Amino acid sequence: MPASEFETELKNYYEQKRQSQLTSKIGQAADLMRETLLLCAVYDEVFDETITPDQSIRDDVDTLRSHVQNSEFDMIESKIEAVLDQLEAERDNAREKLQIELHGIEDRISGFRSLNKRISEVEEGRINKLFDAVDSLDDVPINEEQEFERLENGVREDARAFVQELETVESDLFEGFRGSDIEEQVRSLLQGDTLYLTQPQREEITALRESQLGPYLTLSLEGE
């Protein structure tokens, strides 16, 4: 084989290998963007507030997509690593923001469990399922074989179902106290807060003692 022909084949081999590696990295970029958008969708459904990837990152991804469509591998190679770093940071930011807010919901569910231990109003399994669900909300599925729209619809449906059950359990727990003199105090307990009565009224103390919480009520006086 002539040297020139061998060199040509060698160049073609390395070019194919380079393109294969770049194609793999482009797939990583697509997965990161999908994951970020799915995390944003969960946040939107659970907290009724929209978060989105930074516009500059969206622009970089659009530019990268244009290079892919035009098979501009040199341009892809010069930008892909920076885009991957930005996408990873954006994914991590979205997950962190979601996890921080979900931690507050975990405290709320802990309040459900604490109250339910005293009044036995709902099945404990329902509260356990809420804990399991809140732990998995930031673990969004990334399936390259499924259309993104179907994935997004799925995570949104799961998030809405979680919120609905969360509110239903809270309503069931609160039902026996609705309209009572201790309604506000029970609402605090349902939010996972510790109940303190700094200036309790006699009606509040009486209502607490006569309620299902009475056997678990301890009153103490603090000195100045």
Residue 163 backbone phi and psi in degrees, to 5: -60, -40
| pLDDT 10s digits, 145-183 | 789 999 999 999 999 999 999 999 998 988 877 766 666
**Spatial CA neighbour of 26 closest among 74, 75, 58, 65:** 65
More confident residue, 197 or 22: 22
Q: What is the pLDDT of residue 115?
A: 82
pTM over 0.85: no
| pLDDT 10s digits, 59-84 | 888 898 888 888 888 888 899 999 99
What's the CA gap between 158 and 218, in Å, rounded?
Answer: 40
| pLDDT 10s digits, 10-32 | 566 667 777 888 888 888 998 99
List b or e across 112-149, with b for residues whose CB sees 16 or more CB atoms inside 10 angstroms. bbebbeeeebbeeeebeebeebbeebbebeeeeeeeee
What share of the chain in percent tops pLDDT 90?
42
Q: What is the pLDDT of residue 133?
A: 95
- Place 217 in a pLDDT band, splitting at 50, 70 and 90: very low
Residue 122 backbone phi and psi in degrees, to 5: -125, 160
Q: What is the pLDDT of residue 138?
A: 94
- Place 191 in a pLDDT band, splitting at 50, 70 and 90: low
pLDDT exceeds cutoff 90 at 100: yes
The domain segmentation of the chain, as residue ranges, is 3-216
